[in-house]
Chains A and B, each alone.
Chain A
């Protein structure tokens, strides 16, 4: 395929991008196997919103959600017994995806040890004025951690029902309360990544 043809394909398709890296002489290739939406349909007057459309969380800034205290870069130790540990971020929704499209957020976690963790996922939609369009709604999903340590698990969260033509962005919150029944992951659970897959 020529570059021109590639460009044509790019422009004529709705962009779902993926990246991968190849190193000379090394067997592994690493990348985003699932394409990620690009904000092709975001209009220029939404420039501010675009700044965080892609909200993949950098691996170096990932919050740990665990039972055992974790010391972050600033030296702060969390969580302690009194504090529920949380992570949150915002998804900005392109105009073209606000109606008639399925919106699925994939959450990726890393588990340091074997066990089961339960994560509460809170979803709050906002309209253009910044106000809540709904009362904060809460979806609770159990994230099952595979038995093998040093492993990854992905959980897909369907956000479609929270989207309408007026919803500009969603706030996603994660929390882990170690007292929840069935949570027996004794070690650290790390939220790695969140990205739109549908």
Chain B
């Protein structure tokens, strides 16, 4: 925004920036905020925004197009020229008044945007438009906070794009409080949808097969309820919103109906246009009706379609005159992207302005998308991300029946199902990031290795929340009755086995995913795993990788400020530090351990930045000592059954009575023998792995004697993942018992 302008030096302190924080599993991001204090030394700000001063203004008397360089006004003589003038959010520089009603202007000053300024509202009603000598609002204006370094061109400065959320002034010190660009995602979309009523009954009520008997059906009006329309929806004048689209989709009662043409000035929405057949003539409809069939309730759920395809018998309701008819937004309205993938839908909803001027994804009518300037969105990066992680292979259907908050809708229907989250990058753009598995993180590579050179002090480490034991995906949503017709539960067996009721449950209600083949009671087994919807496998894999079996550990680390460019949320970092416990081995010290950053809190005044990061790839390590673990009470080299070695155990150190710690071990389990600090019994770094032969009350028998005899006070613990028994490996079940398992190899990259 206007790099040629002078920077006034009266900023009174280093900006306070509160960084972003990501809840990756929920696709949620807390936008960053920033505030700056400015001394209004020349009263520039006060003059602009002093609302106690009456502004000079005049009416705009003719529509202003975005390319116009003259503005027609009621009285151009009220201003002292040249000067800046403000109309809506645009600032223009008026240089001359060639006559009493015209102003010659330079458009789009100081980073504002030249747009059309209309004299009518969205419903065509006349409005008053005025042009002022000072801006009439401040909150909501776009703000860019730049951070440069000596010798760097201004254009190359790091940027935080955002919006002004509040101002205050105290003794000529103005404080500007701003929120990062992600805050704009709170905007409502799909607004001003037209609403009206049926002017005549709409044929329906018979079963789909009965359509073939339409020839025998009663003629128009024969039921005594007045003329009945067949292939068109007769509607009354609008009661709200914009005009109906030329071709679009409406909801009538609980039925979603696609129509081809809107004709006769709001009188008819023609469902299927056929020459020479009027709307009252009985006609065999082959498209448009029953886009969401009630047959999904029965065993014909495979007919849950949303494409109005030809020749498919569909259910239709009879709708009476007076029933509400309202426009809904579907992917069929996304011109050029009528079979969109999740990334395309997200970009369309983010960028659509209604004018088609904001990039190739600007395809929806005014009010349906958020209209965010595409320069503030990492379009190419989102597409590349979708291609890299198979997201473009997920077919989705969209039906939005009422105004919604963009971010809330994206979170439920795009971000969470696709394991995406949005962050702001250092160019001030909205960027999509994804939860990475260990293999994906290895391939993506770390942006930085954190060691003593970058760390201010040893990171704090936390074990994280309990692992996920159950994932529920509600899908196959019928927008007509707002119900989900499939609830797919995936049980993560190892989490449940280890932590039982302590595990977390996660649930998504996804209104865009339709999984033919998964009904409300379908069961999928290992044998027919190929039949499991790809989406289900794709959705579960990262959760299994990161949040199953054991809690996902996290760190909080203070770094030097200069490193913040490497540690933005979503980035992969490696940690190498002697003082940090290695949760995989129980040793002290980690080397090149992978983490994904989920929060960053820069503090320029302090000269540091603090990151929060989740550990990747060690979810299945037993770093958190909880049963199965046990404290050793004694050891007898030949005290077991048949003279094998026996370790006697304390009863309830890591489990709750009446259970005993020994209850959690099973014959053939491999366990490690460790000291309190996870060192081996001989003091070495690698604990010895032994195999359990038998388990009894308060003891375990071993298949062979350990190299170093354990003593009372040491511990039996479960070993690293690679040494675990088969019973400790991945174990999913999908609405099934333990013998009905599905699952992808955890190491497989999502495709």
Contact = CB atoms under 8 A, between A and B. Distances in A.
Contacts of A39: 560-561, 607
A110 B111 CA distance: 30
B18 to A, nearest CB: 15
Nearest to B146: A20
Given A44-B452, A47-B558, A53-B607, A35 B156 contact: no
Interface string A28-68: 11111111101110101001001101101111101000000
Interface residues of B, number: 73
A38 B604 contact: yes
B14 A36 contact: yes
A29 B8 contact: yes
Contact of B141 (A24, A56, A152): A24
Given A21-B36, A38-B607, A152-B41, A29 B151 contact: no
Interface stretch (A10-18, A96-104, A159-167): A10-18
A15 to B, nearest CB: 6
Contacts of A35: 148-150
B144 A25 contact: no
A16 B606 contact: no
- Which of A10, A20, A33, A192 has most chain B Cβ within 10 Å? A20
Contacts of A59: 12-13, 37, 39, 173
Contacts of B150: 13, 15-16, 18, 35
B111 A3 contact: no
A30 B6 contact: no
Nearest to B141: A24
Contact of B39 (A22, A24, A192): A192
Nearest to A58: B13
Given A21-B144, A25-B141, A50 B608 contact: yes
A21 B10 contact: no
A56 B12 contact: yes
B110 interface: yes
A16 B149 contact: yes
B254 interface: no
Contacts of B15: 19, 21
Contacts of B560: 39-40, 42
B109 A22 contact: no
A35 B11 CA distance: 12
B164 interface: yes
A42 B164 CA distance: 35
A22 B159 CA distance: 10
Interface in B309-358: none
Contact of B149 (A17, A27, A56): A17
B59 interface: no
B144 A192 contact: no
Interface in B31-74: 36-39, 41, 43-45, 48
B566 interface: yes
Given A17-B604, A18-B149, A21-B176, A31 B9 contact: yes
Interface stretch (B85-93, B670-678, B679-687): B85-93
A7 interface: yes
Given A40-B562, A58-B13, A110-B39, A22 B605 contact: no
Interface string B215-242: 0000000000000000000000000000
Interface string A164-197: 0000000000000000000000000000110000
11 contacts: A9-B149, A19-B146, A22-B144, A26-B48, A26-B91, A27-B109, A28-B45, A47-B558, A56-B12, A60-B170, A193-B13
Given A47-B457, A51-B606, 7 more contacts: A3-B426, A22-B146, A26-B141, A31-B7, A152-B39, A152-B41, A192-B39
The 7 closest A-B pairs by CB, nearest first: A59-B12, A25-B112, A39-B607, A25-B91, A16-B150, A24-B142, A59-B173
Interface of B: 1-2, 5-15, 36-39, 41, 43-45, 48, 84, 86, 89-91, 109-112, 135, 138, 141-153, 155-156, 158, 164, 170, 172-173, 175-176, 425-427, 452, 455-457, 558, 560-562, 565-566, 604-608
